[in-house]
Homo-oligomer: A and B are copies of this chain.
Amino acid sequence: MFRERGYARTTMRAVAQEAGVAVGNAYYYFDSKEHLIQEFYAETQHEHRAVAAPVLARERGFAPRLAGVLHAGVDVLSPYHSFAGTFFKTAAEPTSPLSPFSTESSAPREASVALFREVLAGSTAKLDDELRETLPELLWLGYMGVVLYWVHDRSPGQVKTRQLIDGVVPLVDRLVGLSRLRVLRPVTRQALTLIHTLRH
């Protein structure tokens, strides 16, 4: 119903009617309308993993693995682009249980981070040990950035988001490789300690 009518026009009364129950009963199973989206959220996480699986099984290079997972994420989200705005609207609020940073959605978040951990672990990339530990979370954060761009992407078929992925992946790949360079070591360490400070 979300996909067909959008978020606003999918009323709780309509949802209840479609389910063949009374309005109030919907609130027995879901705390609020927002919580209906959370179901959605968890579903796309699983699908993301499934769609990304073949690429992760096939590719060994860091760049193609990362690109594969990012593209898979956008692939899964694609059908919902029209109402993803409202999705994002509620997710952006810190107090919302839907926020990707909230404790309530820590399960799907961990699953998503694990996906990026796999991207790195299964690759042949060589990098700083400390960076290796932190990078998956950073990649996930970058993925959140991609989604944020995608939500605002008005280009037909969200081509720009694809360009973003294809453009940023080799850059990240390059930077990860450079991180072991002597000139950049101090910057790398500086960045990593900052990240550790800011993590809650």
List 20 interface pairs A-B (beta carbons < 8 Å), by A numbering.
A85-B93, A85-B94, A89-B89, A89-B92, A89-B96, A94-B152, A99-B152, A101-B152, A149-B198, A155-B200, A160-B198, A160-B200, A167-B194, A168-B194, A171-B187, A171-B194, A174-B187, A174-B190, A178-B183, A183-B183
Q: How far is the CA of A170 from the CA of B174 in the complex (A)?
A: 22
A residues engaging B (CB < 8 A)? Answer: 85-86, 88-96, 99, 101, 149, 151-152, 154-155, 160, 163-164, 167-168, 170-171, 174-175, 178, 181, 183-184, 187, 190-191, 194, 197-198, 200
Interface secondary structure of A, over-half rule? helix
Whether A151 lies near B89 (C-beta < 8 A) is no
Query: Considering the chains assembled together, what is the distance between the CA atoms of A93 and B63 in angstroms?
Result: 31
What 9 pairs across the A-B complex have the smallest Cβ distances? A92-B92, A167-B194, A89-B93, A94-B152, A85-B94, A85-B93, A88-B92, A89-B92, A85-B95
CB distance B191 to A171 under 8 Å? yes
